[in-house]
Amino acid sequence: MADDYYQILEVPRTASAEDIKKSFRKLARKHHPDVNPGNKAAEERFKRLNTAFEVLGDPKKRKLYDEFGEDAAKMGFDDKKAEAYRAYRSARASGGGPGGIPFSGGGVDFDLGDLFGDLFSRAGAGGAGFDVGEILGRRASARGPERGEDLTAKVALSLAEAIKGTERPLSFQRPGRCQRCNGRGEGGASGPCPTCKGTGRARRSAGTSFAGACPTCNGTGRASEPCPQCGGTGVTDEATRLTVKIPPGVQTGSKIRLAGQGAAGPRGGPPGDLYIETEVAEHPLVRREGDDLYLDFPVTISEAMLGAEVKVPTFQGELTAKVPPGSQSGRKMRLKGRGAPSLKGGTPGDMYLVLQVKVPEAASDEVKAAAETLSRAYPGDVREELKL
């Protein structure tokens, strides 16, 4: 019975990627040969832990392992080979194969590469044999180191900072390259891989025999003792400080990409990216709609009636605007280009002053007399047409 990788790492099959990583690191430190010198059982357990984490620590390999179990390792965790193997299993279950050729297994071990070669030969491949790895694509080891994960950090901004742009220091933890092994995950001199004996190929039998890339060395044929600092992953948590430049014009939900500032890739793989997601607080006076800004702007009765030049605060600085004579509350005055900059480099938005006619709060006899005089200036009932 083949070992279950989830049992080896002491996690349930529903465990998250972070839980799997934590359990592996804990167990790897406990059973590391440096901690247990001369203990063959601990050394063997340590190797099994690394083999299990090699699979369950990789989302793609884990998905194939969950579907095919040990057969996934036989296929080198290759999507194309898995697709062909699904077709093979389906055909075998129905008692036939391509071209009407029956699959004969019956518990007898056979090499799936030889089987495919035989099928292609009978189907008109000129009698030549084919290796399934050559037919279905390169094995996993030829794909290069795995890229690190992308990370996201949120930054809170005021509306003024969002419109004018700013710089913001960030401090956070991220998976970084292990300094002890320089991200290689190796803790000692390398030698022939103990799983495949240096061949780079692994053959495991579970009713059928299927050769594929060795899961321990990824087909390289070479392996070394894992680094005791990172447990062979090449990655350890690190404290990071960055100064992020926020461009003018961001909104809530805007994302800024910092290439190569994400999590380090396992075993020397390239790092992922860091995405800064902005959250812009509401302003007490200004509301934003796209790149346009709206400001409720109070004016006096005389300014509204007679017109006036008024000082207007904007995020780009103070300016003077003209209130047209006879302005009513709710009238919008457009200040071209005084809104938010466009993140895409286009024309900036505008600022709109929404006039609000304010009456005096203190009513002296003189003010009351002026109001009475003013009321006689209305030609009729101002609410005459107000009907629902």
The residues spanned by each domain of the chain are 5-145, 151-181+229-280, 286-375
Angle between helices 17-31 and 40-56 (to 10 degrees): 160
SS3 call for 42? helix
Are 200 and 213 in contact by the 8 Å Cβ rule? The answer is yes
Q: What is the pLDDT of residue 214?
A: 75
CATH of 286-375, one of 1.20.140.10, 3.40.1440.10, 2.60.260.20, 2.160.10.10: 2.60.260.20
Whether CATH 2.60.260.20 fits 151-181+229-280: yes
Predicted confidence at residue 334, as pLDDT, reads 97
Fold match between domain 5-145 and domain 151-181+229-280: no
Q: Single out the residue of 244, 245, 190 nearest to residue 217, CA to CA.
A: 190
| pLDDT level of residue 191 (50, 70, 90 thresholds) | confident
* Contacts for 13 with CB less than 8 Å, ≥ 6 apart: 6, 66
pLDDT digits over 112-153, tens only? 444 344 434 433 444 443 344 433 334 444 456 788 999 999
Span 233-275, pLDDT tens digits: 889 999 999 999 999 999 999 999 999 999 999 888 899 999 9
d(CA 36, CA 23): 19
Helix (H, G, I), strand (E, B) or coil at 184: coil
Give the pairing of strands 209-213 and 201-205: antiparallel
CATH no. of 5-145:
1.10.287.110
* Alpha-helical segments (H) within 105-158: 112-122, 132-136
Q: What is the average pLDDT across 31-48?
A: 84
Give which of 353, 355, 354, 347 is closest to 291, Cα–Cα: 347
Q: HSE (CB half, 13 Å, CA atoms) of 229?
A: 19
Q: Helix 40-56 vs helix 59-68: angle between axes, to the nearest 10 degrees?
A: 100
The answer, yes or no, to whether residue 185 has pLDDT greater than 90, is no
Query: Taking Cα atoms as reference points, which of 11, 14, 7 lies closest to residue 48?
Result: 7
Strand partners, 211: 203
Nearest-angstrom CA–CA distance, 85 and 229? 38
Tell me the backbone φ, ψ of residue 296, rounded to 5 degrees.
Answer: -70, 120
| Count of residues in the chain | 388
Output the CA angle 360-363-369, nearest 5 degrees: 105
Residues 6 or more apart whose Cβ sits within 8 Å of residue 213: 76, 77, 78, 133, 139, 140, 141, 200, 201, 202, 219
| Cα–chain center distance at 20 | 19
Q: In this structure, is the dihedral angle defined by the CA atoms of residues 188, 191, 194 and 199, taken in order, positive or negative?
A: positive
